[in-house]
Structure 1
Amino acid sequence: MRHFAQPFKRTLAALALLGLALPAMADTTVSDAWVRATVPHQQSTGAFMTLTASTDSTLVGVKSDVAEIVQVHQMTMDNDVMGMKQVQRVALPAGKAVTLDPNGYHVMLMKLKQQVKEGEVVPLTLEIEDARGQKQTVEVKAPVKALTTEMPMHDHQHMH
């Protein structure tokens, strides 16, 4: 029994040291998440939230079961014309809150599988990558808010 105990203790000690040597995974918190409700047959909507990462990180992807296509977009201004473009990454500087809102970066849920109604909850999976390339997924349950909630400017641009 003694021959077994020594290697076992050494293995446990090595595993404990290895665990201490590995840096802790970056932690990203999500607050104020919400999704804008849709009308019947509407094909897309937006998701909004505030992200705060404990270390320099990057939002590299978002998934949701309610839409076939989920992308991160950014509002742009080009010669006084507002537009939207897809971005592959959003920087999350350590300790700084980054807001995804209707007038900046935001998540677009496109080719919706069904109407998104006020009072429902939309599941979102965020993929975060830290400066070392380690990936973390953050599960978000975003409540659906009324269509009239803080309408983004790009919904108004041709409604004069």
Structure 2
Amino acid sequence: MTQTMMFAGFAALMLAAPAMAEITVTDAYVRSAMPGAPTGAAFMVIENTGPEPDRLIDVRSDVAAKVELHTHLDQGGGVMKMVHVEEGFALPAGDVHRLARGGDHVMFMGLKQPLVQGETVTVTLVFEKAGERVVEIPVDLDRQESHGMMQHGMTPSN
């Protein structure tokens, strides 16, 4: 009888445990606007394939003095302002959140060394529910995207 009670208790604990978000990261790359720039950014596709919502709440890397989650806000008149997103990025269950140029991204400020084409940068993504995920992201200085392209401090040209 004791074994049956222990099994029932274990089963109850397993059923009571919260469902965890299941996170995948694809199409990641890191770049800087120009060789020797003091800043860089990482872009990627983050998918929450789990049944529960989650949130990317922090990011860390040894590649720079400061690493933050950023986005661009339209200030009107063709001016975009880059801002730190302290609350992070929501990841609804079964949804994708794209970190892309001109939008949400990981910002590296005070690069400790130049970003070199073909090398990788180690980044730790911190999720509210899924915990920490360490990803190795390739440096791709040549990658071009036709949508949402804006360089920091630049306004769109006509």
Quickly name the TM-score band, shorter chain normalised. Answer: 0.7 to 0.9
CA deviations on 1:99-131 (whole Å, 9 max, x unpaired) are 0001110110111111110101111111111xx
1:148 and 1:18, CA in 2 relative to 1: closer, same or farther beyond 3 A?
closer
Compared CA separation, residues 159 and 16, structure 1 to 2 (3 A): closer
Q: CA deviation at 1:137?
A: 1.1
Question: Residues 29 and 135 from structure 1, CA distance in 2 versus in 1: closer, same or farther, beyond 3 angstroms?
Answer: closer
Q: Which residue of 2 aligns with 1:3?
A: none
Deviation of residue 63 (structure 1)?
Answer: 0.5
Contact 2:82-2:152 within 8 A present in 1 as well: no
Residue among 68, 87, 91 paired with 2:65:
68
Query: Which 4+ stretches in 1 moved above 6 angstroms?
Result: none
How far apart are 1:12 and its partner, in Å?
Answer: 5.9
Tell me which residue corresponds to 2:40: 45
TM-score of the two chains, using structure 1 as the length reference: 0.80
What is the root-mean-square deviation of aligned Cα atoms in Å? 2.5
Q: Distance in 1 between matches of 2:27 and 2:133?
A: 14
Q: Which amino acid aligns with 2:109?
A: M
Contact preservation (8 Å) 1:36, 1:149? no
Runs of at least 5 residues in structure 2 that lack an aligned partner in the other structure: none
User: Matches of 2:156 and 2:72 in 1, distance apart?
Assistant: 18
Residue number in structure 1 paired with 2:56? 59
Q: Distance in 2 between matches of 1:119 and 1:145?
A: 6
Name the SS for the 1:114 alignment partner.
coil
Matched AA of 1:120? E
* Correspondence for 1:91: 90
1:155 deviates by 4.4
TM value normalised by structure 2: 0.81
| Match of residue 123 from structure 1 | 122
Code of the residue aligned with 2:111 in structure 1: it is L
Structure 1 distance, partners of 2:152, 2:67, is 19
Q: Which has the larger radius of gyration?
A: 1
Percent identical among aligned pairs is 37
Looking at secondary structure, tell me which structure has more helix per residue. Answer: 1
Contact 1:121/1:142, CA 8 A, preserved across alignment? yes
- How many residues were matched structurally? 150
Question: Which residue type is aligned with residue 43 of structure 1?
Answer: P
